[in-house]
Amino acid sequence: MAQILFTDVRPHDVLVEDGRLVPLERRTEGCEVVEAGGLLALPAPVDAHVHPDKTTWGQPWLSRTPARTLRDLIEGDVAARAGMTAPVAARAAALMDHAIARGTRAWRAHVDVAPVYGLSNVHGVREAAQAREDLLDVQIVAFPQLGLLSAPGTAELMEQSLKEGADIVGGLDPVGVDGDLHGHLDLLYGMAERHTVPVDIHLHDGGEQGVAQVLEIARRARSSGVPTTISHAFCLADREDLAETLAEAKVALTTCALGADPVLPVRSLLKAGVLVGLGSDGVRDPWTPFGDGDMINRAHLLAYRTDARTDEELATCYEVAAHGGAALLGLEPARLQAGDPADFILVRAESVAQAVVDKPTPQFVVRNGRVRERSC
Ligand SMILES: [Zn+2]
């Protein structure tokens, strides 16, 4: 029962034993002591939406071609990846290692499944994840990036992927990409029910067309009981009135606070009881030169995009990354309370609010009760 006491820590000292936090009075003689010099403890964050199979992390710079539509981006992605020489496992591993060093405890990875790729992306990401399974929990979403109905053979590959490393059924713009809301959702929910797995659907479609899809997804989530997440859901940016409907249907949402794209009204969604997670989305890939897999940076972007100003508003952005992500992935919460898993980081900041603004690099990363990174 080796213990580690982290002392001189804000907001309070932390005693770790067997991978969990325990009350300070349980401290035994001879316990290892880490003097933290006033560092702030934060719960380890979760990246609830990331695309590691597309990343060029650790690889030479990729120049991107202009794209006007979603279709342009998808086609540019396929063409760029045909020219990548490093295997998926190596690229995904490089990004995982960086995310781990920045304190991330878990990923929900959306991984392309399409006839042009077969299951190579799922196998590659799973291989990289298995080599780091004590450091990063990785859920793989079988993601039909090239369309589900519009790319024949994809549904069969997705079904197969659930036996070969994927954990979740992914969807993509049932109307905007596939032009068949019910056909697309029938396949997703059929597969999810057969394999007893969740569904996570990318929805970029905007306006009333987007909202109609959200409402149908919510209806199916309620009637099937399949745990359901809608990623991006740009159409909900100004539809706070739908928060209660989503909460009632237990539909979770992820947002990535991307560039010029609409951002979810996080505070009113949380108030209504909707589960919201935060993600990187693409990281230095054919879609975007930006992103770095660092969830403190992502919480900063969410705060910036949602005009957070008060300490409470700033802290909420970090809570979405940590607690929202953990709940969305079905992980045990790491709230720095006795009994919680010892998954936390120590950063130089006075408060969570300041950390969200300053984006400090973690000085310590503690995962499953062990110090994994130490830079002071
Ligand atoms: Zn995505």
Is the domain of 287 the same as that of 217? Answer: yes
Question: How far does residue 280's CA lie from ligand 1's centre (Å)?
Answer: 8
| 87 and 15 inside one domain | no
In the reported structure, the alpha carbon of residue 279 is separated from the centroid of ligand 1 by a whole-number distance in angstroms of 9
CB-based burial of residue 248 (10 Å sphere; 0-12 exposed, 13-18 middle, 19+ buried)? middle
pLDDT digits over 247-283, tens only? 999 999 999 999 889 999 999 999 999 999 999 999 9
pTM greater than 0.95 (yes/no): yes
User: pLDDT digits over 178-202, tens only?
Assistant: 999 999 999 999 999 999 999 999 9
**Tell me, what's the pLDDT at 295?**
98
Overall domain count for the chain: 2
Flag whether pLDDT at 80 surpasses 80: yes
Candidates 34, 38, 40; CA nearest to 16 is: 34
pLDDT of the residue at 1: 64
CA of 282 to the centre of ligand 1 (A): 6
Distance of CA 35 from the midpoint of ligand 1 (Å): 40
Q: What percent of the chain has pLDDT over 90?
A: 96
Rounded distance, CA 217 to CA 182, Å? Answer: 10
Measured in Å, residue 111 CA sits from the centre of ligand 1 at 9
Mean pLDDT computed over 84-100: 97
Residue 126 pLDDT > 90, yes or no? yes
pLDDT of residue 70: 84
pLDDT digits (tens, 9 = 90+) for 286-336: 999 999 999 999 999 999 999 999 999 999 999 999 999 999 999 999 999
Strand arrangement of the beta sheet that strand 14-17 belongs to: 20-22, 14-17, 3-10, 32-43, 344-347, 364-367, 370-374
For 223-251, what is the mean pLDDT? 97
Pair (27, 140) in one structural domain = no
Q: Distance between CA 123 and CA 314 in Å, rounded?
A: 38
Alpha carbon of 352 to ligand 1 centroid (Å): 27
Q: Is the pLDDT of residue 88 over 90?
A: yes
State in Å: Cα 51 to ligand 1 middle. 6
Residues 139, 38: one domain? Answer: no
Domain containing residue 271: CATH number: 3.20.20.140
- Give the residue numbers spanning the domain of 94: 44-328
CA of 202 to the centre of ligand 1 (A): 6
307 CB neighbour count, 10 Å cutoff: 8
Residue-wise pLDDT for 156-181, tens only, equals: 999 999 999 999 999 999 999 999 99
Same domain? For 70 and 24 the reply is no
Position 375 scores a pLDDT of 82
Average pLDDT score, the chain: 96
Q: How far is the CA of 233 from the centre of ligand 1 (A)?
A: 11
Q: Closest Cα partner for 264 from 239, 240, 304, 237?
A: 237
328, 348, 364: which is the final residue of a domain? Answer: 328
Judge if 34 and 76 occupy the same domain: no
57 shares a domain with 10: no
pLDDT higher than 70, residue 155: yes
How many CA atoms within 13 Å lie on the side-chain side of 221? 23
- Taking Cα atoms as reference points, which of 287, 215, 290 lies closest to residue 251? 215
Query: Are residues 267 and 361 part of one domain?
Result: no
Domain boundary among 328, 345, 366: 328
Q: Are residues 190 and 212 in the same domain?
A: yes
